[in-house]
Structure 1
Amino acid sequence: MNIWRLLDTGALPARLNMGIDLALLEMHARGVSPPTLRFYQWNPPAVSLGYFQRRHSIDLAACSQLGLDVVKRPTGGRAVLHENDLTYSVIAGVTEGIPVKLKDAYKLLGEGLVHGFRLLGLDTVRAADHLSAPETDICFMRYAEGDILYEGKKFVGSALTLKGSSMLQHGSLVLESQRERWTSLMILQGHSNEGLNQHLESRTTSLGEILGRRINPNEVKTALTAGLAMSLNAEFQAGDLTYDELALAQEIASNQSVR
């Protein structure tokens, strides 16, 4: 059984959140940082854009007016709203049993998430890679490997990147509905707010809607930690960022920009 570090860094600004994930990946690739499961949230709320998402329909002026930061993720995919969500990241490598093939890595971590949701009483499934998806800039409207569905609707989306034999996978778990907020953040071309809301309702959900109650993020962290411990054959021990990790994260954060 591998010993992993468990981090809970609380709610931080968007650029620092991405800086920490990248710093942990960099330092794990150097052999300095241990395998790590991290939970975090966002203050202020934010929209993260996929690394390759050069053009998009996100209304950046509306984000600014509503007090939302906008940041580029180091991973692919489409825009994710980090408001009323819980984000996790997994930083590990082949030494800790992470498969070399991306498809197998997604499967391993997805099984851990499914185990965790089962502890919350939910029967969830991993998205099949062949599911069709509309052309949209909203990540949660598209289904891909690494996503988790409940009764055909997505409420967990994730993406990953590699550095050498080390992997960073991070994902967003929607705690409360984001549909109303999304309608105020999109530059709609040929669609109405009502139409977008209906489309979102048909393809997305939240943990609060599924369970019919307000969710305490701590209960989700506990369940997912247990589920991932099963799939990763890991023992998680609570820890903190090191001085060097935080310093590198702050340096990375200071150099980030949105295009």
Structure 2
Amino acid sequence: MNAARSTWRDHAWRLIHADAQAPALHMALDEVLTDEVAADRRPPTLRVWEWAGPAVVIGRFQSLRNEVDADGAARHGIEVVRRITGGGAMFIEPGNTITYSIYAPLSMVAGMSFQEAYAHMDAWVIEALHALGIDARYQPLNDITAPAGKIAGAAQARRGGAVLHHVTMAYDIDAAKMMQVLRIGREKLSDKGIASAAKRVDPLRSQTGLPREAVIARMIDTFRHRHGLRADALRAGEIARAEALAAAKFADPAWTGVVP
């Protein structure tokens, strides 16, 4: 092991599981909380998201025009936002999605390649999925899969003294709507029909038969058992900073539409 590397148990982990929030605010919270952990103003934190509305979240280096059908998104009332991490576009519906972020000191991934860091950060959730009867595994670089199909996609960024690792999991999915909103994959699926899109992303609902809340509860319990976890809440200053950042950056069409 790298001498400078810390372990999960070296840190006093906190849990944030707040009420539903707007997509742009979620993007801002990721930036703010990563910076708070980097500055040692907040302990390492697991945040489980609740979504206030449907969204498409595109990666930091993606082209909005290439990824999203603007007419389809508008027709379905779907907000499009850009995150600070790389990776691909995610189609989000509040009751159909499980999203979480981990904000950790950079020492957690010291000396690791990105592939090693992804596997390290996802090991606990793969254990949780196994406990739910799913033969889940990490698939490089940034997917969690099962024999039935992809379950989740991850993204990661290293900022200052912290690493941000977040994952979006498909609890359920409206494949027909997704294909009206996302451009990617249309050509691949055009001769196979919408059913093929659903198979490419296999929802947790069909694999577990459990309510979304029960899946989240098992995930949190697994994290707590492996690494330790205490309930926490967003602080007033964190919320204020995130709200300002959401308005100035993440809800700004200039940021969303930037061509890297």
Q: Give the TM-score category using the shorter length.
A: 0.7 to 0.9
Confirm or deny: 8 A CA contact 2:205 2:212 kept in the other structure.
no
Segments ≥4 residues shifted beyond 6 Å: none
Confirm or deny: 8 A CA contact 1:50 1:78 kept in the other structure.
yes
Distance in 2 (CA, whole Å) between partners of 1:190 and 1:46 is 22
Where 1:42 maps in the other structure, the secondary structure is: coil
| Number of positions where the alignment pairs a residue of Structure 1 with one of Structure 2 | 238
1:106-161: CA deviations, max 9, x gaps? 1112211111112212221111x3xxxxxxxxxxxxxxx23111105101111011
Shift of 1:28: 1.1
The aligned runs of 1:7-86 (5 Å cut-off) are 7-54=16-63, 55-83=65-93, 84-86=96-98
Counterpart in the other structure of 1:219:
214
Taking structure 2 as the reference length, what is the TM-score of the superposition? 0.84
Answer with 84-93 or 107-116: which moved more: 107-116
Q: What is the RMSD of the two structures over their aligned residues, measured on CA atoms?
A: 2.1
Distance in 2 (CA, whole Å) between partners of 1:239 and 1:28 is 14
Larger strand percent:
1
Where 1:170 maps in the other structure, the secondary structure is: strand
Out of 85, 97, 105, the position equivalent to 2:117 is: 105
Answer with 69-78 or 102-111: which moved more: 102-111
Confirm or deny: 8 A CA contact 1:160 1:170 kept in the other structure.
yes
Distance in 1 (CA, whole Å) between partners of 2:148 and 2:206 is 14
Q: How has the CA–CA distance of structure 1 residues 190 and 80 changed in structure 2, closer, same or farther, with 3 Å as cutoff?
A: closer
Shift of 1:199: 3.7
| Residue 246 of structure 2 is aligned to residue 249 of structure 1 | no
Distance in 2 (CA, whole Å) between partners of 1:115 and 1:82 is 24
Give the letter aligned to residue 41 of structure 1. Answer: E
Taking structure 1 as the reference length, what is the TM-score of the superposition? 0.84
Shift of 1:69: 0.7
Q: How has the CA–CA distance of structure 1 residues 163 and 196 changed in structure 2, closer, same or farther, with 3 Å as cutoff?
A: farther
Shift of 1:18: 0.8
1:220-253: CA deviations, max 9, x gaps? 22222233345xx521101100111111111110
Counterpart in the other structure of 1:208:
205
Counterpart in the other structure of 1:141:
none
Counterpart in the other structure of 2:4:
none
Counterpart in the other structure of 1:132:
none
The aligned runs of 1:44-193 (5 Å cut-off) are 44-54=53-63, 55-83=65-93, 84-95=96-107, 97-101=108-112, 102-127=114-139, 129=140, 145-151=141-147, 153-187=149-183
Q: Flag structure 1 segments of 5+ consecutive residues without an equivalent.
A: 130-144
Where 1:47 maps in the other structure, the secondary structure is: strand
| Residue 194 of structure 2 is aligned to residue 197 of structure 1 | yes
Give the letter aligned to residue 80 of structure 1. Answer: M
Confirm or deny: 8 A CA contact 1:94 1:100 kept in the other structure.
no
Larger helix percent:
2
1:196-237: CA deviations, max 9, x gaps? 5244234220001212x3x4232222222233345xx52110
Identity %: 25
